[in-house]
Amino acid sequence: MTDTVKDLKDLKGAVSAAEATETPVETQNEAPKREKEIDAQGRSYGTGRRKDAVARVWLKPGTGKVTVNGRDQTEYFARQTQRLVLNQPFLIINGVGKYDVTCTVKGGGLSGQAGAVRHGISRALEKFEPEFRPALKTAGMLTRDARIVERKKVGKHKARRTKQWAKR
């Protein structure tokens, strides 16, 4: 299109030719392709939250060793249910024993911490392998559980427990 356009018909032909040579742009309905987010050590990172607990999780390929605050998961989470909660993302993607997890967790109790680590593992898995996202998303592992303790109200014993009342 070095020469000037003298007629509107010429302009229409030039525009349609330019459109044909361009690469197709992503449609609005199509989600952008997610890429792996891996650091120099070959790890992916995820932050998990549950109640007052916050977990920072690093995940890399390995033998299935899970370390929480410098201790083994069986030592840190004594209850079987807490360890089951922690390993749910691996069960969903059929990746039990394929990844090593190192995490630090602060705040809350053991139940909240187990949920926070699960959330962090799910996010780290999604960053490590983006094709795991649909399975984790449908299972609800990537969504932060927003339920927190209800605050105590003035004039009540607890959040909802009222003072004892006697008619006579």
In one-letter notation, the amino acid at residue 86 is L
- pLDDT for 34 equals 84
Is 147 domain-assigned?
A: no
4 within domain boundaries = no
pLDDT at 168: 85
Residue 152 within any structural domain of the chain: no
* 8: in domain: no
Structure tokens at 79: 């209850």
For residue 115, how far is the Cα from the chain centroid?
A: 12
Residues of the chain above pLDDT 70, percent: 82
β-partners of residue 54 are 49, 106
CATH code, domain with 48: 3.30.230.10
Rounded CA separation 99/60 (Å): 6
In angstroms, the Cα distances linking 6 to 2, 12, 18, 37, 137 are: 12, 11, 18, 52, 56
- Specify if 32 maps to a domain: no
Q: pLDDT for 27-63, tens place per residue?
A: 566 767 888 888 899 999 999 999 999 999 999 999 9
Cα distances (Å, whole numbers) of residue 137 to 29, 89, 92, 98, 143: 18, 10, 10, 20, 8
Residue 162 lies in a domain: no
Mean pLDDT, the chain, rounded, equals 88
Q: Which residue matches tokens 């209800």? A: 150
Domain tally, the chain: 1
Residue 48 domain boundaries: 44-138
pLDDT for the residue 12: 58
Residue 164 domain flag: no
Three-state secondary structure call for residue 145:
strand
d(C-alpha 132, C-alpha 167), whole Å: 60
pLDDT greater than 60 at residue 92: yes
Q: Does residue 108 lie within any of the structural domains? A: yes
